[in-house]
Each structure stands twice: as C-alpha cells, then as structure tokens.
C-alpha cells in the first residue's frame, strides 16, 4: 500500500513544515508484508483530535486538529533522530479513494511502525512525572488520566495493541516519556491499593479500567492473534465520532484486509466474515439480535456487536466449522442450569450493575 510519511528536508525551506527548528516534507512510500522494517523504519504518533481546528499546514483550505502540531512537537523532542513519521492529520491522503484505503488500514500501519508514541493532553503531565519518579500514582493522578480523552477513543485501541513498542508522553512535556510497561504497572499498582471493591473501582474509573484491559491485551496477544471476543470486549467501553469507526478499529486488529475489499457491506458484517474466514467464531458471544434464518440463528444480525461480558479475556479463539446442519463449535463445555450460591449471585449483580447501571439484568 502507499504510505505518506513526514521526512526531514535539509535542502529547502519552501513548501515544507517547520516544527521545532526542523523542516519536514511529505513523501510517498510503498509498504507491504515483505518489507524489511530494519532497512525501512518509521514511527507513528497516537493522539486525539479534540474540538479545536486550524488550517492544514500543506493544504490551508482544509482544517486539521489544533493538537496535531503540539503532538508532533512532543514526539520530535523525544525522538530527534527519527527520520520518518506518520501522523494521521498530515499523512492520510486527501484524495477520497486513497483516504478511505488509509483509514481502513490504520491497524496495519501501526503494526508496521518501529514504535508508537502516544501523546496525551498536557493536563496529564503531573501523573506522567509521578510515574517517572515512582512505581505508583495517587488518586488525583488517576482522576487526571481518567478524564483524558485518549484512553477511551476507538482508534487508540488498535493504535495501542498493534504497536511493537509503545511509549507515553504529553504535550509540553520535557524529559518525560514513559514505557507502556511502566505506565501499566503504575496504574495497576495504584488500582490495587484503592480501598474499595473491584466493582466500585470500575464505577469510579470506567475509562481507566477499560484502558488497563487494553494494555493487558497489548501484552497477551499479537497482531491478528487476538480473538474476536477479546476485541469486542475491549471496544465495548470505547467511543468514536462515527459508528463505522468502531468496526474499522476492530477489523484493524484482526486482519490486514480493508473493509472495502470484502465488498459493499456494513463494517460489522465485514468483521464477522473476516472472523469466520479465520475460523474464529467467538463473535457469537454477543448480546446482539440473532438472524432468524433457519440454520443461521446462531449468527448475530449486522449492527451493534456488544460482548455478553465486557471484561478482559485472553487465550485461544473459539474454533468451529460450518456444515449443512449449521455451525458446530469445537471443544465446548456442556453446563447445566443450577441455582447460584448467594455470594456468587451478589457478585454478579454488582458486577453487571457496574457496566449497565443498577437496573442491569
């Protein structure tokens, strides 16, 4: 696929972008599965757009996020020797067909990058500084991170879990960059020390609880290796501006295929078909409405695809195969109805309420 990257330009100051006393221009490259990333490497920047807009530095008649340049500045400060950079607002082509292909391939792009640097808002600086100085953060830091939009966006899920190497910094940060492992350890350790139940923690910090699952996903499953249920569960608690972005992000972590390459289908249907092609039928563990067609009543109707239990999971996919009698799932454990113990009933009730409210059932 064609990939536009920011490349340092040392020979001209016209038609280029000046950032932190460096000059950058856009250049096109071809990348594929056969490319040697040791000979051709680039880095990706992950950030959120927010509401502010300003003119595109290369195409002033188009607006981009006013957080794009600050994110780029933060990255360049920490990675001054990086020669090639991908950042969506500047590197996604403007031509409609190429633009659509690139947006559908975001997961693939992040999987090919040498490293990904997530640039949070400048309000997170105190929390990141405390992570550098210690193995824990306090409740004020948790609240700061909970409010940052980056931790709950749909696109940042695939940008995170597909990355080979991941770091965190923020706008206006100097000498503060945190490896993903340290970030997770600080958040997890601080969560563990909170004097409340697991359900109360999730009620108080729903975004961070979901993000902690994403980082765990990052460490426990490889690119295209995670199950559909694992993806669905993580995406249930994330937000997006367009409904289709939800499924584009899900497709981006299970396959290199673009949604449009499967045909003129709804993104949800594309996701399910790609899972079926891989032999992963764990997408059936959804609370979605089922197809009424005979022998297909096991299959969710294309639309929303919420997981039955929005909880982090890991392990193998749900293998199965289709035959003339419908779907047969492999290695299933047969269970029988029974009355739950009171302690178990209360735990499940509280747990469900933490996700769906007090009236969840």
> What ranges do the domains of the chain cover?
1-220, 229-336
- The CA angle 318-323-329, to the nearest 5 degrees, is 20
Section 281-304 average pLDDT = 94
Section 12-35 average pLDDT = 82
Model pTM?
A: 0.83
Residue 286, SS3 per DSSP: strand
Distance CA 49, CA 150 (A): 9
Determine the pLDDT at residue 223.
61
Q: Where are the alpha helices (DSSP H) in 236-328?
A: 243-254, 267-278
Distance CA 272, CA 275 (A): 5
Distance CA 129, CA 272 (A): 42
Confidence class for position 198, pLDDT limits 50, 70, 90: confident
Residue 65 in tokens: 């996020």
Backbone angles phi, psi at 165, to 5 degrees: -135, 135
Determine the pLDDT at residue 199.
75
Residue 21 has pLDDT above 70, yes or no: yes
CA atoms within 13 A on the CB side of 171: 16
Confidence class for position 200, pLDDT limits 50, 70, 90: confident
**Dihedral sign (CA 271, 276, 278, 284):** positive
Section 77-98 average pLDDT = 93
């Amino acid at each position: 696929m064609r990939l536009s990257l920011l490349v340092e330009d040392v020979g001209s100051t016209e038609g280029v972008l000046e950032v932190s006393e460096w000059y950058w221009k856009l250049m096109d490259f071809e990348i594929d599965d056969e490319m040697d990333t040791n000979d051709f490497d680039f880095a990706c920047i992950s950030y959120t757009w927010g509401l502010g807009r300003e003119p595109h530095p290369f195409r002033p008649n188009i607006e981009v996020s006013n957080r794009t340049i600050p994110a780029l500045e933060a990255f360049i400060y920490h990675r001054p020797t990086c020669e090639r950079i991908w950042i969506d607002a500047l590197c996604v082509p403007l031509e409609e067909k190429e633009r659509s292909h690139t947006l559908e391939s975001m997961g693939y792009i992040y999987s090919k990058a040498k490293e990904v640097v997530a640039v949070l808002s400048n309000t997170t600086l105190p929390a990141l500084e405390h992570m550098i100085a210690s193995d824990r953060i306090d409740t004020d830091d948790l609240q700061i991170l909970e409010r940052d939009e980056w931790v709950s966006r749909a696109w940042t899920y695939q940008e995170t879990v597909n990355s080979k190497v991941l770091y965190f910094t923020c706008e206006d940060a100097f000498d503060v960059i945190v490896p993903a492992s340290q970030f997770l350890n600080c958040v997890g350790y601080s969560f563990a020390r909170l004097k409340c139940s697991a359900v109360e923690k999730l009620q108080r910090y729903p975004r961070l609880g979901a993000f902690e699952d994403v980082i765990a996903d990052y460490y426990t499953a490889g690119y295209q290796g995670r199950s559909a249920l694992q993806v669905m569960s993580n995406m249930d608690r994330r937000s997006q501006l367009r409904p289709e972005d939800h499924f584009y992000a899900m497709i981006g972590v299970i396959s290199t295929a673009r949604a449009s390459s499967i045909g003129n289908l709804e993104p949800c249907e594309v996701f399910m078909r790609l899972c079926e092609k891989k032999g992963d039928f764990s997408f059936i563990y959804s609370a979605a409405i089922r197809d009424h067609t005979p022998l297909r009543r096991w299959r969710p109707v294309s639309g929303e695809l919420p997981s039955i239990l929005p909880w982090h999971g890991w392990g193998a996919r749900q293998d199965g195969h289709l035959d003339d009698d419908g779907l047969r799932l492999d290695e299933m454990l047969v269970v029988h109805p029974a009355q739950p113990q009171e302690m178990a009933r209360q735990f499940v009730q509280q747990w469900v309420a933490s996700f769906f409210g007090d009236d969840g059932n």
